[in-house]
Structure 1
């Protein structure tokens, strides 16, 4: 459970930082100190986690559902996140293949840049994660287009 708790706390911190500390306080009605305890990795706060209503309020304001995504990953579930559906309305599988190639190239370029010194820093890992998520979104769009085409044909 220690690993799971630490994983959830990291995603809770990402959620708060995504929204911004002041805005997170306003959205949840919690103080800065209380929010900090929810993602603190110190032993005295190991059993403290953000209440689900506060998570819901923050994820509504966030650019990405950090905690929900973490919970789903722990269960082996893949979420389909629909914040920016560039490929979905127009185009189709052909457009998705092009977008997939472009995103993969961006991921590989980011990886090459990150590994040059033999160490992937936290910021580099975050950039790699963003590119990986963008690649996943293109794959989800492609899956939806393929499902659409098989229903028609």
Structure 2
């Protein structure tokens, strides 16, 4: 998949996450204009969503789809915390337990997903959610380890 089609795919996901009508209201753009931003037709191949439009839509979306895609293209891992008020741990030992639990949940999801030999889109989304949860635990663990070093 080319960089262009990868970005267009994530742009489409962002618009669909927000909803086309809501996206039009948020951005002041028409359905046709938003559609051109993620169209894979040759006439729209060089047309991409402006950054300010991406920012406005990602503020309303459940996940920063385009930002995550851009980070992925550069080999950057983002820590996205959609539950910022979640509990913090009290130390590394608790982090290790949480990490083991999350990894077990990921393996359980994977086992369910691969049972028919194919991972569906919904199964992939569940796996992604568990992977992000593991990232959050690892980030908390990193912060706790840094506190112990200092």
Give the TM-score of the pair, scaled to structure 1. 0.86
Aligned match of 1:103: 102
For 1:35-74, what aligned pairs fall within 5 Å after superposition?
35-74=34-73
Q: 8 Å contact 1:10–1:39 — kept in the other structure?
A: yes
Quote the offset at 1:131 in angstroms: 1.6
User: Aligned pairs, how many?
Assistant: 149
Instruction: Tell me which residue corresponds to 1:138.
Output: 137
Shift of 1:117: 1.0
Contact 1:87-1:141 at 8 Å conserved across structures: no
Q: Which runs of 5+ in 1 are unaligned?
A: none
Q: 1:13 matched to which residue of 2?
A: 12
Q: Which residue of 2 aligns with 1:122?
A: 121
2:83, 2:55 → 1: CA distance? 20
CA contact (8 A) 1:114 1:124 kept: yes
Deviation readout 1:70-125 (Å, 9 max, x if unpaired): 1111111222323324243x423223222212211111111111111111122222
Q: Does 1:80 align with 2:79?
A: yes
Q: Where do 4+ consecutive residues of structure 1 move more than 3 Å?
A: none
